[in-house]
Structure 1
Amino acid sequence: MTYQDIFTTELDGKKRHGARLIDVREREEYVAGYIPDAVNLPLSELVGREAEIGPKTVLVCASGNRSSQAAAYLASQGKTDLMNLSGGMAAWRREGRAVHQGEQP
């Protein structure tokens, strides 16, 4: 497997162990609500910015589709230790987890 799917319940533990969270949704979607500590890097801008993605990266989008595409692409470019947040923001919100709005910190 080129990347690992993780569940929302696993994200805090991954972050505690150094994982970085990258939100690949478009800017408008991101500012409307994102997971705390997530950095926005839209899928549409990923090509050419691969160097910004290090190991232990969790990718998130609205449902898990775009983030899985991003993970597969990055793996094909030699990136390792990639994770996809299964269910994306939809699952995160369904569980009542914290969501920030506005510009990224």
Structure 2
Amino acid sequence: MREIDLRSFAAAHRDGALVIDVREPLEYVEGHVSGARLMPLGELSSHVGELPRNAPVYVVCASGNRSLSAAGFLSAAGIDAWSVVGGTRAWIHSGHPVTRGTQAAA
């Protein structure tokens, strides 16, 4: 499985990377990486066709466990997927801002 450290992810995020959040909707609205699209892990297979095959996709969850599983699934489907080590918790603890609510504002 491919993982990306928080520092490298932060740089990719600043550059406009595609981020998907595989947590459940309630977790997402409590705080998510700005710009992240909600695609709960249990529904991920129905969203594979929406993801690019020519650019990296960064997958985030709460701590990195679900995103690692999701990145493995996406990689097997031909997506250049990367799991963010430490997930949203690490993002917040590192001082990065989050968006609250249902909007995935950039």
> So what's the TM-score if we normalise by structure 2?
0.86
Counterpart position of 2:71: 71
**Root mean square deviation, CA, Å:** 1.5
Matched-pair identity in %: 39
User: Could you list the runs of 5+ residues in structure 2 that have no partner in the other structure?
Assistant: none
CA 35–16 in structure 1, closer or farther in 2 if over 3 Å, else same: closer
Q: Map 1:54-69; keep pairs closer than 5 Å.
A: 54=52, 55-69=55-69
User: Could you list the runs of 5+ residues in structure 1 that have no partner in the other structure?
Assistant: none
Task: Give the ranges of 4+ consecutive aligned residues of structure 1 lying more than 4 Å apart after TM superposition.
Answer: none
SS in 2 for 1:66: helix
For residues 69 and 46 of structure 1, the distance between their equivalents in structure 2, rounded to whole angstroms, comes to 11
For residues 19 and 101 of structure 2, the distance between their equivalents in structure 1, rounded to whole angstroms, comes to 17
The offset of 1:99, in angstroms, is: 1.1
For residues 46 and 38 of structure 2, the distance between their equivalents in structure 1, rounded to whole angstroms, comes to 15
Counterpart position of 2:81: 82
The offset of 1:62, in angstroms, is: 0.3
Name the aligned partner's letter for residue 21 of structure 2: D
CA 18–95 in structure 1, closer or farther in 2 if over 3 Å, else same: closer
Aligned length: 102
Counterpart position of 2:97: 98
The offset of 1:17, in angstroms, is: 4.5
For residues 2 and 12 of structure 2, the distance between their equivalents in structure 1, rounded to whole angstroms, comes to 12
Name the aligned partner's letter for residue 25 of structure 2: R
